[in-house]
Amino acid sequence: MAKSSKKEIEKDRQNVLNELENNSNRSLNEIAVKLGFSRQKAWRIIKNLENDNVIWGYTAIFDSKKIGRKMFYILVKRKALPTPKEKIESMVNRDLRKEATKIGVGFESSYFVNGLYDALICITADDVNQVKKFTDSLNNLYGENISETFILEVIFTVSRNSFDNPNIEELKEYL
Total-model pTM: 0.81
Distance, in Å, from the CA atom of 59 to the CA atom of 170, rounded to the nearest integer, reads 24
Q: Which of 39, 43, 35 is nearest to 11 (CA)?
A: 35
Could you report the per-residue pLDDT of 39-59, keeping only the tens digit for each? 999 999 999 999 999 999 888
Task: Look up residue 172 and give its amino acid.
Answer: K
Buried b vs exposed e over 1-14: b needs ≥16 C-beta within 10 Å? eeeeeeeeeeebbe
90 contacts 142 by C-beta, under 8 angstroms:
yes
Could you report the per-residue pLDDT of 61-115, keeping only the tens digit for each? 888 888 899 999 999 999 999 999 999 999 999 999 999 999 999 999 999 999 9
Which residues make Cβ contacts (< 8 Å) with residue 144, sequence separation at least 6? 79, 81
Q: Which pLDDT value is given to residue 155? A: 93
Can you say how many angstroms the Cα of residue 144 is from the centroid of all Cα atoms in its chain?
26
Using the predicted structure, report yes or no on whether residue 125 has a pLDDT greater than 90: yes
Work out the mean pLDDT of the chain and round it to a whole number: 92
DSSP 68-96: T-EEEEEEEEE-SSPPPHHHHHHHHTTHH
Residue 32 — very low, low, confident or very high, per pLDDT cuts 50/70/90?
A: very high
Backbone angles phi, psi at 173, to 5 degrees: -65, -25
Q: Which pLDDT value is given to residue 117? A: 97
